[in-house]
A = this chain, B = another copy of it.
Amino acid sequence: MSEPFFTEVQGPIGFGGLDSTDPLTFKVYQPDRVVLGRRMVDWLRPGVCVWHSFSWDGRDMFGIGTLDRPWLADPDEMRGARTRLAVAFEFFSKLGTPYYCFHDRDVAPEGDSFATFAANLDAIVDEALGYQERTGVQLLWGTANLFTHPRYQAGAATNPDPAVFAYAAAQVTHMLEVTKRLGGENYVLWGGREGYDTLLNTDLRREGEQLARFLHLVAEHKARIGFTGQLLIEPKPMEPTKHQYDYDSTVVHGFLVRHGLDGEYKVNIEANHATLAGHSFHHEVAYAAAHGMLGSIDANRGDPQNGWDTDQFPISVDDLVMPIYEIIRAGGLGTGGFNFDAKLRRQSSDRTDLFHAHISGLDTLAQALLAAADLVERGELAVLKDARYAGWDGELGQAILGGSASLPDLAARVASGEVDPRPVSGSQERLEGLVNQSVWRANRGA
């Protein structure tokens, strides 16, 4: 057994409450606290990602690594991979979160051929199974990295070269099986380079067809191997490419329906991807919930003044209360959860900063859950929204929606003066006040 890495933290992180002066305690998050009849942990199903926390050394486009991740420099790559796995599970255990997520390349060295890589991955997965058993930590979802290697510079499924499509297919085949083997509850596809850098060399129609074919093949293989988890697509509008095809939930929805794939996939919504797409996080969650597409959440945030994927830890209850409200109203995330697809600022160069960040993020989710639950319990928001549409249950509304009223029928009612609507207040500020009341009421007894 390897030595502990996070020596400053004994773990598991305990509950300190809002008045605690110990930064290494939760201020709000209590996994077993019951909210609206369900435990906090069961609403949130929080997970830690391997890539940002254990496979990234703090580098950015203008600087080299700042974080203390010695296993990344281990000349024996498999030994380094094993150390990483041990440290990751040490962290999961000490933090006390039930889930983790990873890409195939996050945990196993590339090697010099696909066969070697597959063997490396299998060896690490063998170990991961042991860690899962010993710690109880489970796999929220697996995914394949189809964007880091140069072969994917022009995309994976949407590459102009079918051999790259095939290579991606090989990775997904294997990682889907790995995910099944580890009991993963979902499988995610993020099309990091499924888009274009310039339209001058890009055939949008061809690439769309290729992508649809790939998604069909994945769904077929899922059925073939009996994987029962949910397939998820993660929308992102751009970066690293200029334009990415899975732009947002609405675009993904349309694409799936156009290609007969809408029964097979839901979306994994990332807050920072939502804002990069010009939408609020609330919008993306609300759209997905309204259309039966809500799968899982990548919990993070962007910087409102920076136009790239900053992947910061969530800190704003104001940003989270309405997305979580939608999730509660939708009955929860099902097999999904809140995966912290968030990375430390590269100045956060102490080992313990990884705990501070996850504690802060979990507390924020927990506080937002309490606020959203209060809003659900008070019920006024839902009542007011439903009342606003009440007219659609009346004769006119039903005639329109039911198809019995044609355009000239409706025109005649207007021309006769029978129909002459008056504007009704949208009450936005009053509703905003209602939400804030719940945000500020939440957790007062703490």
Contact = CB atoms under 8 A, between A and B. Distances in A.
A411 B169 contact: yes
A201 interface: yes
A130 interface: no
Contacts of A442: 440
29 contacts: A23-B434, A27-B436, A58-B150, A63-B147, A153-B346, A154-B424, A161-B391, A161-B424, A166-B410, A166-B419, A167-B414, A170-B411, A170-B419, A238-B305, A239-B308, A257-B258, A313-B429, A313-B432, A317-B436, A345-B428, A347-B428, A348-B428, A348-B429, A349-B424, A350-B427, A356-B430, A363-B436, A367-B440, A444-B446
Interface stretch (A77-85, A131-139, A285-293): A285-293
Contacts of A322: 199-200
A397 interface: yes
Given A63-B147, A63-B240, 10 more contacts: A114-B415, A154-B423, A166-B410, A166-B421, A169-B407, A170-B414, A209-B401, A221-B406, A315-B318, A318-B319
Interface residues of A, number: 164
A379 to B, nearest CB: 11
Given A205-B290, A257-B254, A408 B348 contact: no
Given A287-B204, A345-B429, A423 B242 contact: no
A126 interface: no
Nearest to A276: B307
A330 to B, nearest CB: 12
A408 B364 contact: no
Contact of A360 (B63, B151, B396, B429): B429
A172 interface: yes
